[in-house]
């Protein structure tokens, strides 16, 4: 049809224009194994900078790799300091109330939120590669710690053990994070897809908001469960204990926080209004309670916060049964979540400023700051989006803004903690709710629905699992659905028929390009994935079905019978022994039907394995072509110059093309 007017070359002419498909030269096993390891674990070639350098220079470059401050520190200027000073003070005003609030969310003493905003930022400033990441505690990790540790130990009945388990879990989280970076296993974090994170964060934010109803309504007794049904049952079964004073204060402060955020979004130059709003609410709330003695009328306050810097806690780790398992499990899950958030936030802002960050280096930095932090009364920290966004908008230039923030927190710990005595808990609840509303990204969910329905299912699976079951269940559901999708991609790869674009030698999918022409007597199929044991059976059955459908179509139209089946293998990056067995079976099927199997554009790895398995000898070198166009020309030449019965294996009119 599309090639009816094509002038077919003579045998000699065809031999000159065709290109043979080469089998790559054999490589020693250890060299091949080394290259595979390098591509898997060192795609960025981190050792490149050490080539052809003196030993002393290599040592200094090694120090710079693990301590990036040695790289940018010598170039630090007074102009950078001015920008970082403003950014550091701004994020400190957000870090202090957030730290206290999130520690409360994890059922930990409020002072730990301040401790966690002092030591870890100093470590990250030395080891981190992001200029914009602002280190601190995060709501989702705090909720996870409170939920998972709370299942084993009651924070009210046994506060010392609960606190020690929190330090132990943080230690194991840091150990996991640093190990992933050192072993260059950061791709594990990639299993938390964008859709998974959107749904998980939205669900966790919803759960956190519901949990804050305890503080807003001034309830003394509240469920330890995080699912929506238990929380709502706990809220509405205690209507008689609701305190209107606390509710009014909470509504007023929440309205103020949301209004300041809305104004800052509309006027980006006034970002500092939103950043200063949490600290402003803390000051106003504390003054209001102090002047009106509201603590005597149903408004709960923080109470005493001891002055002083972080006390050591490395002697408080719990390494005994039955709590060690709980600490390890909590540390691993929260560590992965915190790592995913920190790296994602760092990469986002690095993209805005046109620089790159090293993911494995970030893992080592985040892991180290949590290991050190756990030894000095800190719980899990990472780079939260809200604080990093404020740092970015404030014009930070380097990680020195974290040092400025840490110094501001240190000053607070030494001199200002008594001022938080009258801070109402309802203000902390309002701060948390305001921050969590920003994590419910409904616009991203709508975008997922429009672009990819399966991603939307992953997102909603995570959200529903978190909201109606628990944070852990939601995470497991989301990861399970994501892995299932990955397996489906591997086990059910796309195969489609190719046709010829008019007046060209280009072959494309007939579904994507309806104007393509069929090639009489030839079925061209494209396999769009590597061929492995997981998909070989499916591909064999699907290819047989394509052949059946093509033969039925040709019989119904009375056109030329099917003679050749061409596989375009340009997308087949690799093949295993099961895949080779599948090709051998397909070869036998086509032989029984009197068809000739032809391969087009197999890659180097595929050719190497086909050669070692002797499949090239089975199919014949003359039936393997560099492009689909050459394969079609060869088949057309055969159809128009040879008798139909000459399509058997012994007929080789252009051997050794």
Distance between CA atoms of 243 and 570, rounded to whole angstroms? 69
Q: Which of 20-29, 45-54, 428-437, 648-657 has the lowest mean pLDDT?
A: 648-657
How is domain 493-641 classified at the CATH fold level? Transcription Regulator spoIIAA (3.30.750)
Strand partners of residue 624 = 599
402, 408, 413, 419: CA torsion to nearest 10: -130
pLDDT tens digits, 137-162: 988 889 889 888 988 898 888 999 99
365 pLDDT band, cuts 50/70/90, is very high
pLDDT at 15 over 70: no
622, 625, 628, 629: CA torsion to nearest 10: -80
pLDDT at 187 over 90: no
Q: Which of 39-43, 182-186, 385-389, 637-641 has the lowest mean pLDDT?
A: 39-43
Please tell me the predicted confidence (pLDDT) of residue 648: 43
Instruction: Sketch the domain layout of the chain as residue ranges.
Output: 78-191+304-418, 254-299, 493-641
pLDDT tens digits, 80-91: 999 899 889 988
Distance between CA atoms of 278 and 111, rounded to whole angstroms? 17
Distance between CA atoms of 552 and 546, rounded to whole angstroms? 10
pLDDT tens digits, 107-126: 999 999 999 999 999 999 99
**What value, to the nearest 5°, has the Cα angle with vertex 9 and ends 4 and 12?**
165
503 pLDDT band, cuts 50/70/90, is confident
| Cα→Cα distances 13→174, 202, 552, 634, 638, Å | 67, 65, 35, 11, 14
Please tell me the predicted confidence (pLDDT) of residue 657: 34
Instruction: List the one residue out of 548, 552, 546, 519 whose CA is nearest residue 634.
Output: 519
Distance between CA atoms of 238 and 241, rounded to whole angstroms? 5
pLDDT at 374 over 70: yes
pLDDT at 467 over 80: yes
Q: By 3-state DSSP, what share of the chain in percent is helix, strand and coil, each rounded to 5?
A: 65, 5, 30
**What value, to the nearest 5°, has the Cα angle with vertex 317 and ends 312 and 321?**
170
pLDDT at 537 over 50: yes
pLDDT at 11 over 60: no
Distance between CA atoms of 54 and 148, rounded to whole angstroms? 51
Is the previous residue joined to 480 through a cis bond, with omega within 30 degrees of 0? no
Looking at residue 21, the DSSP 8-state letter turns out to be P
Tokens 């699912």: give the residue.
227
Please tell me the predicted confidence (pLDDT) of residue 447: 95
169 pLDDT band, cuts 50/70/90, is very high
pLDDT tens digits, 549-559: 999 888 888 77
Please tell me the predicted confidence (pLDDT) of residue 42: 67
Distance between CA atoms of 268 and 265, rounded to whole angstroms? 6
Instruction: List the one residue out of 463, 454, 460, 462 whose CA is nearest residue 485.
Output: 454
pLDDT at 453 over 60: yes
Distance between CA atoms of 400 and 64, rounded to whole angstroms? 16
Residue length of the chain = 657
Looking at residue 522, the DSSP 8-state letter turns out to be E
pLDDT at 43 over 90: no
Structure tokens of 612? 């070692």
pLDDT tens digits, 473-488: 887 887 888 888 888 8
Please tell me the predicted confidence (pLDDT) of residue 645: 45
- Mean pLDDT taken over the chain: 85
642 pLDDT band, cuts 50/70/90, is low
Please tell me the predicted confidence (pLDDT) of residue 587: 95
What's the mean pLDDT in 429-444? Answer: 86
pLDDT at 77 over 70: yes
Assess contact for 479 and 192: CB atoms under 8 A.
Answer: yes
pLDDT tens digits, 231-269: 889 888 888 888 888 888 899 999 999 999 888 888 888
pLDDT at 38 over 80: no
45 pLDDT band, cuts 50/70/90, is low
What is the residue-wise DSSP string for 181-246? HHTT-GGGGGGS-HHHHHHHHHHHHHHHHHHTHHHHHT-S---S--SHHHHHHHHHTTGGG--HHH
Distance between CA atoms of 657 and 648, rounded to whole angstroms? 18
Higher-pLDDT residue of 382, 481: 382
**What value, to the nearest 5°, has the Cα angle with vertex 275 and ends 270 and 278?**
135
Higher-pLDDT residue of 427, 298: 427
| Cα→Cα distances 641→7, 190, 241, 456, Å | 12, 54, 94, 55
Please tell me the predicted confidence (pLDDT) of residue 591: 93
- By the 10 Å C-beta count (0-12 exposed, 13-18 middle, 19+ buried), 148 is classed as buried
**Beta strand residue intervals within 477-576, DSSP E:** 495-500, 507-509, 522-527, 564-568
pLDDT at 649 over 50: no
Higher-pLDDT residue of 365, 648: 365
pLDDT at 105 over 70: yes
Q: Is 303 helix (H, G, I), strand (E, B) or coil?
A: coil
651 pLDDT band, cuts 50/70/90, is very low
Distance between CA atoms of 156 and 210, rounded to whole angstroms? 20
Please tell me the predicted confidence (pLDDT) of residue 8: 46
Please tell me the predicted confidence (pLDDT) of residue 18: 60
Higher-pLDDT residue of 208, 323: 323
pLDDT at 195 over 60: yes
What is the residue-wise DSSP string for 613-653? TTHHHHH-GGGEESSHHHHHHHHHHHHHHS-GGGGSTT--T
What's the mean pLDDT in 447-459? Answer: 91
Distance between CA atoms of 313 and 328, rounded to whole angstroms? 17
Higher-pLDDT residue of 471, 541: 541
């Amino acid at each position: 049809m599309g090639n009816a007017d094509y002038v077919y070359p003579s045998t000699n002419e065809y031999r000159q224009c065709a290109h043979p498909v080469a089998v790559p030269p054999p490589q020693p096993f250890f060299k091949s194994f080394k290259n595979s390891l390098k591509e898997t674990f060192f795609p960025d070639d981190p050792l490149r900078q050490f080539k052809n350098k003196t030993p002393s220079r290599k040592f200094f470059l090694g120090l710079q790799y693990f301590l990036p401050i040695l790289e940018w520190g010598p170039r630090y200027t007074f102009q950078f300091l001015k920008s970082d000073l403003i950014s550091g003070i701004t994020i400190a005003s957000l870090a202090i109330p957030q730290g206290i609030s999130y520690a409360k969310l994890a059922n930990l003493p409020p002072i730990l939120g301040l401790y966690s905003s002092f030591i870890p930022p100093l470590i990250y400033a030395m080891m981190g590669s992001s200029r914009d990441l602002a280190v601190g505690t995060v709501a989702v990790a705090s909720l996870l710690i409170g939920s998972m540790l709370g299942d084993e130990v009651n924070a009210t009945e046994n506060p010392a053990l609960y606190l020690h388990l929190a330090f132990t879990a943080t230690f194991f989280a840091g150990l996991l994070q640093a190990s992933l970076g050192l072993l260059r296993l950061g791709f594990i974090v990639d299993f938390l897809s964008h859709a998974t994170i959107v749904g998980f964060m939205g669900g966790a934010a919803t759960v956190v908001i519901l949990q804050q109803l305890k503080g807003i309504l001034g309830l003394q007794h509240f469920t330890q469960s995080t699912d929506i049904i238990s929380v709502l049952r706990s809220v509405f079964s205690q209507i008689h204990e609701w305190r209107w004073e606390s509710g009014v204060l909470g509504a007023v402060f929440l309205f103020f926080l949301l209004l300041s955020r809305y104004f800052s979004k509309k006027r980006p130059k006034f970002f500092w209004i939103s950043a200063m709003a949490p600290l402003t609410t803390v000051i106003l709330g504390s003054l209001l309670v102090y002047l009106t003695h509201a603590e005597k009328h149903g408004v709960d306050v923080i109470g005493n916060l001891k002055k002083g810097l972080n006390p050591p806690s490395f002697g408080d780790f719990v390494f005994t049964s039955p709590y060690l398992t709980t600490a390890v499990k909590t540390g691993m899950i929260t560590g992965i979540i915190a790592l995913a958030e920190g790296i994602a936030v760092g990469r986002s802002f690095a993209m805005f400023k046109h620089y790159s960050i090293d993911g494995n280096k970030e893992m080592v930095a985040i892991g180290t700051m949590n290991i050190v932090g756990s030894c000095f009364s800190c719980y899990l920290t990472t780079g939260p989006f809200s604080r990093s966004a404020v740092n970015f908008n404030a014009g930070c230039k380097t990680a020195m803004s974290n040092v400025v923030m840490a110094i501001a927190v240190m000053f607070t710990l030494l001199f200002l903690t008594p001022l938080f005595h009258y801070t109402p808990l309802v203000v902390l609840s309002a701060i948390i709710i305001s921050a969590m509303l920003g994590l419910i990204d409904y616009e991203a969910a709508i975008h997922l629905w429009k672009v990819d329905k399966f991603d939307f299912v992953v997102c909603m699976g995570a959200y529903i699992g978190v909201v109606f079951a628990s944070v852990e269940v939601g995470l497991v559901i989301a990861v399970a659905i994501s892995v299932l999708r990955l397996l489906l991609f591997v086990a059910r790869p796309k195969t489609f028929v190719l046709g010829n674009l008019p007046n060209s030698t280009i072959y494309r999918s007939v579904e994507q390009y309806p104007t393509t022409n069929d090639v009489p007597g030839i079925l061209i199929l494209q396999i769009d994935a590597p061929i492995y044991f997981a998909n070989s059976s499916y591909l064999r059955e699907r290819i047989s079905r394509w052949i059946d459908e093509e033969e039925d179509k040709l019989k119904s139209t009375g056109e030329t019978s099917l003679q050749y089946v061409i596989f375009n293998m340009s997308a087949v990056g690799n093949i295993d022994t099961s895949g080779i067995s599948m090709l051998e079976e397909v070869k036998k099927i086509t032989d029984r039907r009197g068809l000739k199997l032809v391969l087009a554009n197999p890659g180097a790895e595929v050719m190497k394995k086909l050669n070692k398995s002797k499949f090239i000898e089975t199919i014949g070198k003359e039936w393997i072509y560099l492009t689909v166009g050459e394969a079609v020309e060869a088949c057309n030449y055969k159809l128009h110059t040879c008798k139909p019965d000459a399509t058997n294996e012994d007929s080789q009119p252009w051997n050794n093309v």
